[in-house]
Amino acid sequence: MGSLANCAGPFVCFQSVLRAVPITQVMSFMPLLLARTFDDGFTTRPARLMPSYILPKWLQYICLVGVAISIGSPAFAAPQNDARTTPLVKAIKGCSLSVVNLRGRKTVASDIGSKSESKQVNGMGTGVVIDSRGYVLTNYHVVQGVKRIEVTTSDRQKTTAKVLAHDPETDLAILKIDLPRELPTIRIGSSSDLMLAETVAAVGNAYGYEHTVTVGIVSQLGRTVQVNEDQVYRNLIQTDASINPGNSGGPLLNLNGEMIGINVAVRIGAQGIAFAIPVNDALEVAADLMKNLTAQRIAHGLKTKTVIVDNKAVLFVDSVAPNSPAAASGISKGDRILSVGDRQIRNRLDFECALVSATENKSGKAFPIEVSVEHGKSKMTVAINVNKVTHHVSDMAWGSLGMKLVRADDALMLDRHPTYKHGLQVVNVRPGSPADSEGILAGDVLVAMAGYKTESLENLQWVLEQPDLDQQSSFMFYILREKEPFWGKMRVATRKFASGN
């Protein structure tokens, strides 16, 4: 009798043969092996199907184990590079983690017969992560008027978002979501080299079906579309990829998995006519929105410009303000910006997002920001000692509400009303302002607005700096006139200030 070690040869050889044989042939061979292996009382098959002198019974058991191992081996798994793993499949897989789904409720006007009423409707949309700290780009019409924006990530985590900035003319908005981890960012392509009939894919929250993927082509470029009296889109990408309600704000991708557009509109009543904002245009608007946030926190003196070089975005210094922190650092016009801190820079949006990151949780009136540039043929890293910008709450209230306010005397408040112990007294009202439109007069005392008490100027500043304040169609305010309390509704004028958090 041979030793067990001698069985290794037949076993390995048998397994190797199995790996080279199609699974259908292996399975057709199995009954023969099983018939002989279990012929003692379990089958009436003739022994001649697998004569015992070919393989001893103990060796047949080993071979049976070899069959099981072989079937579970990678030889029987789907090939890693089979025909199904197309560039489109790879593109969608690469972007899915940076697409978020948005939901919320908003109030819309509804005409019922001869009456005009308002009703609550469910809204849905899509957003793309443009910065790993939770900054999201979407369409403004997706979040306009929504008080609570619910966000679902691709891995089913749920959170809420707040609107930091928006541009109604281009229908774009920047949101901020807070999660305990960094988020994957969307890969950015270019819309400057798009080709007619190029394959594209749309990803979005179509009719609430999250992360729906549709495929089409670039049908035409440079379209102008007027959707209503107030909204005109220009230079749009036309595509026949299916875009449905809920797709707005989601990415239009090329086969490299790069975002080349933001899905925005569809032609009602038509088939296969939809539109997207070119990514190059969207990034410039998004950069302006982020710049508005950083400009309210720091002053550096740099003006930058994105230039497309060999179909790749490159950021250059367009100008340097005299006597600014940037001028003192040695940066000059024409320098190419490579990085801010540890963040690589490709375009204006990268630059503004990096500045937001660099200014978070900073104390003091000034602090340095490291910027690496390409100056001629050499590279250098400089420190820009940026200055923090401070706003006076009195200017904020005058610009947003049209009121000059001071803290009301405590004795005056005690005499006016026993419930309200503190407030802000109106000393002047700007004609034509929101306060003037609501009949607020000098001498009135503002005691609350937008659901918060206004017992001090610090309270008022915090309320005015809330980025979603101008998202509300109106907010409640409460005043004391002599000894009588009054309430009303107003909305802020064009926002001059916003929170950068």
**Which two three-digit tokens encode residue 193?**
């080299």
The reply to whether 375 belongs to the active site is no
Contact 419, 444 (CB under 8 A): no
The reply to whether 141 belongs to the active site is yes
Distance of CA 58 to the CA centre of its chain: 63
Of residues 70, 98, 131, 141, which has the active-site annotation? Answer: 141
* Cα–Cα distance measured from residue 5 to residue 3, given in angstroms and rounded to the nearest whole number: 5
Taking CA 12 as the corner, what is the angle to CA 11 and CA 14, rounded to the nearest 5 degrees? 65
**Which two three-digit tokens encode residue 39?**
């012929």
**Which two three-digit tokens encode residue 238?**
């036309």
* Cα–Cα distance measured from residue 85 to residue 83, given in angstroms and rounded to the nearest whole number: 6
Of residues 70, 190, 242, 248, which has the active-site annotation? Answer: 248
Which residue's entry shows tokens 């949309």?
Answer: 125
The reply to whether 248 belongs to the active site is yes
| Helix then strand then coil, % of the chain, to nearest 5 | 25, 35, 35
Q: Please name every residue paired with 161 in a beta bridge, in sequence order, or none if there are none.
A: 149, 177
Of residues 171, 281, 350, 468, which has the active-site annotation? Answer: 171
Contact 453, 447 (CB under 8 A): yes
Residue type present at position 330: G
Contact 175, 130 (CB under 8 A): no
Ranges of H-type helices in 224-308 = 279-295
Residues annotated catalytic, as ranges: 141, 171, 248
